[in-house]
Amino acid sequence: YPYDPAKARMLIKEAGAENYEFTLMASQGRYARDKEIAEFIGHQINSAGIKTKVQVMEWGGFLAKLLAKELFPLGMWGAATVPAADVYLGAMVLEGGAYAVYVNPEFKKVFGEAATTLDEEKSKELWNKTAEILYDDPPCIFLYQQVSIYGLNDKVGGWVPSPDDWIDLYPMFVK
C-alpha cells in the first residue's frame, strides 16, 4: 500500500471521520528504535488527517495490554518470522488466536482448509489465498521487516542463522 496522505485525507472525509482521534500504543526498548518508529508513524498518521497521540510504555506493561487485547484501535509491535504459516497466522490473525482481534469468516474457512490439507500443492494454493484475503481486508498495517544482525567470535562453531530468528544453542561449540 503506497503512502498517500492526500488519498488518506480524501477517504477519511468520505467516511465522515475528520475529527477522529486515537492513541498509538508502542513499547520502548524491545525492538531497535521502536520509540522513534512509533513517533514517526504517529506523525505520518497525523499528516493523513487523523489526530494521533503516541503512548510509549515499557515492555512488561505493553505485553500485558497485548495479551489482554487492549492495544486497539492501534498498537505497534513486532513478531519474529515463523516459517509455519499456521503457527504465525493462527496466533496473530485467526479469530480466537492469542493476539488476534480480527474476524473474517472467509479467512477462517480458508485457514482451516490450508492447515489441514496434506496435499502440498493444494496447501500452497490455500496459504496464498489467505495472503490475498489479508491483503484485501488487512487485519493490521504491515510496516517493515526488521533485519537481525549477529556477531560471532571465531572461536564459536556450529551456529547457523535461522530465518525465524531462532537461536539454537544445542549444535554450537567452542573451538
pTM value is 0.71
The pLDDT tens digits along the chain (175 residues) read 788 889 989 999 999 988 888 899 998 988 888 899 999 999 988 988 889 999 999 989 988 998 888 887 777 777 666 667 888 888 888 999 888 888 999 999 999 999 999 999 999 999 999 999 999 998 887 777 777 788 889 999 999 888 777 788 899 999 9
Q: CB neighbours (10 Å) of residue 107?
A: 21
Residue 103: its pLDDT value, please?
A: 93
Burial class (CB in 10 A: 0-12, 13-18, 19+), 92: middle
CA dihedral over 166, 145, 66, 150, signed as positive or negative = positive
DSSP one-letter string for 49-74 = T-EEEEEEEEHHHHHHHHHTT---SE
Residue 3: its pLDDT value, please?
A: 81
Residue 47: its pLDDT value, please?
A: 87
Residue 2: its pLDDT value, please?
A: 81
Residue 30: its pLDDT value, please?
A: 84
Residue 82: its pLDDT value, please?
A: 67
**Which residues are within 8 A (CB) of 32 and not within 5 positions of it... i.e. 6 or more apart?**
146
